[in-house]
Structure 1
């Protein structure tokens, strides 16, 4: 009788032990899957952030290039306007002198 009880208790403990081990393995697998998903999510977020940073740098470089072009165009326009103004002044002065010489 005692041997049967001992065998039954041993079997119960083995079943409990197997159930606990199975539960442990399920929990471990669940944690690993969660960790993998978290790592994938973090990698995706990092990639998106890096792409955003790259895009912002490209836009900043483009703005700088546009500013350089605008400065060059502005300088060119100012230079041309000054040249036209000088030519106009010269023509006006020349006409004035000519009209004074002609007695006009």
Structure 2
């Protein structure tokens, strides 16, 4: 059997088997697959989710590791999981009120007045 080199396209295609349980689409078409590297049997990927608290995060990592390890010629697998909270259009303020700050969280107690 000829020694065929694994390509990033083959890695991307294999990872289309991972379906986001909430969005019901694969992680590649959703744009979650941010980085793919193939080097002498070592495959490294970065999957970027929309929230760091994604309940499917560990499951997606395990699926990716299993799928990639099963590809021909793969000797080592590294799956990095990151998160990028996407800001909605309605909540986006005009301008940049605090330079260098990407996300702002408003906190309130809701205890009522002082009287």
The higher relative CO (CA closer than 8 Å, separation ≥ 6) is in: 2
Structure showing the higher strand proportion among its residues: 2
Superposition TM-score, scaled by structure 2 size:
0.17
Structure showing the higher helix proportion among its residues: 1
Superposition TM-score, scaled by structure 1 size:
0.19
